Amino acid sequence: MSLRVLLLSLGLAVAYASGQQLSPEQRKIVDSVNGDEQRSLLLLEKLVNINSGTLNTAGVRRVADVLRPEFEALGFTCRFIPMDSVQRAGHLVAERKGTHGKRLLLIGHMDTVFEPDSPFQKFVRDGDKATGPGAEDMKGGLVIMLSALKALNSAGALDGTNITVFLTGDEERHGNPTSIARGDLIEAGKQSDAALEFEAGVRVAGHDEASIARRSAYTWTLKTTGKDAHSAGVFGTAGFGAIYEMTRILDRFRQELREEGVTYNVGLIAGGSAVSADPGSASLAATGKSNIIPAAAQASGDLRTVTDDQFRRIQQHMEKIVAEHLAGTSATLTFGEGYPAMPETEGNRALLRELNDVNRMLGLEAMEPYNPVLRGAGDLSFVAPYTAGITGLGSFGKGSHAPGETVELSSQTYQTRRVALYLYALTR
């Protein structure tokens, strides 16, 4: 047992003995979580060993097939929403209708960034940690969600609750248009009082934190053109060429767009006599010669902001820069559909206060809001305009989105205890 888990167990024991004693029902919930530890780890291993890269639609559906009977055993009515129209697998929705407490929307995703051609495919346990594709992001979170609901059910505390579980199949690369890919999730958000997302938990200087704000994430594509001519004519009648125009624009972006909370990355670039793009693999290829003025260049990247107003302002500034062409060149800038920003609201802050009530009950430290600049975009942002939200209720680990992604198995049960009592409090 790690020192951290030992301290957490001691904290729980202190909570039992303190003035904030757990009620018999709460104690039963905690005991159920503790007793489900081994079965939950086996389920995590099973889910991780199913390849569910976003574009592996059959694999995503297999994950849904494993989870569906688990939710049905808890009295949830399940349905699968196909997303063939946007070239994605679809979403699993599980619902319980009742009148107790808040109407909760629990959000997760079944897909990972690791497609079948990735060399990183298997769950490997090493003591109180394990590596595997999606182990932290976010199959560990799915197991925490399910185990917490099982604990409530064991105490009869699911009876009368109004809970919708919405598990998307394309969070890592959502289908377009988002009006279809996220339309059902948005409608679920409109019918909810609070949305809880089970993305990975975060820890700063040894202290757990939760996210009540997160940044947007939009992709952009810049294309420039020039006159295809011998290099001897550059800067003269033949103009500057596509690569100089591309360089001008990107350097202006670098110098002029900086402000707090904004990042704008250039992730891919190519230029030459001709550029070809492969949308399926997001790759670019260029052909040309060193003594020819390049006729084409293309770059793509992302833009992340803390508010949607900030996004629109930066977008307009980028478009203004693009419009000021070098001689003999032209340029176009397009933005793809992405994830909106989730601003901090009083409703979100209230959810964190309620979570900290649970932390005190368990003898845990209060959680501070995590810096939204450090948090990636996610599905919770789509429902943020309609309901209060909080994220970071999933697994603790490191290295998500890269081979070697690791989940702390030792933290799964303690995070589940926290989540279970949080769900209990919100649904009373």
Question: Are 361 and 402 in the same domain?
Answer: yes
Q: Which two tokens stand for residue 423?
A: 């769900």
Token pair of 393, please?
A: 């209720």
Structural domains in the chain (count): 2
Contacts of 91 (CB under 8 A, 6+ apart): 80, 81, 83, 166, 167, 168, 169, 184, 185
Q: What is the largest CA-CA distance in the chain?
A: 85
Residues facing residue 100 across a β-bridge: 161
Say what the pLDDT of residue 105 is: 98
Query: Looking at the structure, do residues 348 and 331 belong to the same domain, yes or no?
Result: no
In 10 A of CB 265, how many CB atoms? 11
Residues 72 and 135 reside in one and the same domain: yes
Asked whether residue 192 falls in the same domain as residue 139, the answer is yes
Write the CATH number for 41. Answer: 3.40.630.10
Which pLDDT value is given to residue 280?
62
Answer yes or no: do 196 and 236 share one domain: no
Which residues, including other chains, have CB under 8 Å from residue 323's CB and lie 6 or more apart? 331
Measured between alpha carbons, how far is 50 from 115 in angstroms, rounded to an integer? 11
Q: Are residues 154 and 193 in the same domain?
A: yes
Residues 123 and 37 in one domain: yes
Q: Is 427 helix (H, G, I), strand (E, B) or coil?
A: coil
Token pair listed for 309: 């107003």
For residue 168, the one-letter residue type is T
Tell me the two tokens of residue 12.
């729980």
What lies within 8 Å, CB to CB, of 225 at 6+ separation is: 242, 245, 295, 296, 297, 329, 330, 331
CATH of residue 274's domain is 3.30.70.360
Q: Which domain holds residue 253?
A: 218-335
Please say whether the beta carbons of 225 and 331 come within 8 A: yes
Q: Residues 185-234: pLDDT tens digits?
A: 999 999 999 999 999 999 999 999 999 999 999 999 999 999 999 999 99
CA 259 to chain centre: 24
Question: Which three-class secondary structure state does DSSP give residue 377?
Answer: coil
Final residue before a domain boundary, out of 335, 358, 391: 335
Q: What is the pLDDT of residues 48-69, one digit of tens each?
A: 999 999 999 999 999 999 999 9
pLDDT of the residue at 23 = 94
pLDDT at 351: 98
Shared-domain flag, residues 302 and 237: yes
Tokens of 81: 């929403």
Q: What is the pLDDT of residue 19?
A: 37
Average pLDDT by consecutive 10-residue portion of the chain (428 residues)? 50 47 94 97 98 98 98 98 98 96 98 97 96 98 98 97 98 95 98 98 96 95 96 95 98 95 95 88 88 97 94 97 97 94 96 98 96 92 97 97 96 97 97
262 and 201 in a common domain: no
pLDDT recorded at residue 216? 95
Among all chains, which residue has been given the structure tokens 């001691």?
10
Residues 209 and 255 in one domain: no
The pLDDT value recorded for residue 281 is: 64
Q: What are 82's two structure tokens?
A: 């196909």
pLDDT at position 14: 46
Contact 392, 211 (CB under 8 A): yes
Burial class of 71 by CB neighbour count within 10 A (0 to 12, 13 to 18, 19+): buried
pLDDT digits (tens, 9 = 90+) for 64-93: 999 999 999 999 999 999 999 999 999 999
Q: Is the peptide bond before 138 cis (omega within 30 degrees of 0)?
A: yes
Task: Answer with the one of 335, 358, 385 that is the final residue of a domain.
Answer: 335
Q: Are residues 147 and 40 in the same domain?
A: yes
Q: Give the end of a domain, one of 265, 300, 335.
A: 335
Specify the 3-state DSSP secondary structure of 82: strand
Q: Rounded to an integer, what distance in angstroms lies between the CA atom of residue 82 and that of residue 136?
A: 25
If asked whether residues 228 and 209 sit together in one domain, one would say: no
The per-residue DSSP string of 326-359 comes to: PTT-EEEEEE---BPPB---HHHHHHHHHHHHHH
- For residue 267, the Cα-to-chain-centroid distance in whole angstroms is 19
Q: What CA–CA distance (Å, rounded) separates 91 from 145?
A: 16
DSSP string covering 176-201: S-HHHHTHHHHHHHHT-SEEEE-PPP
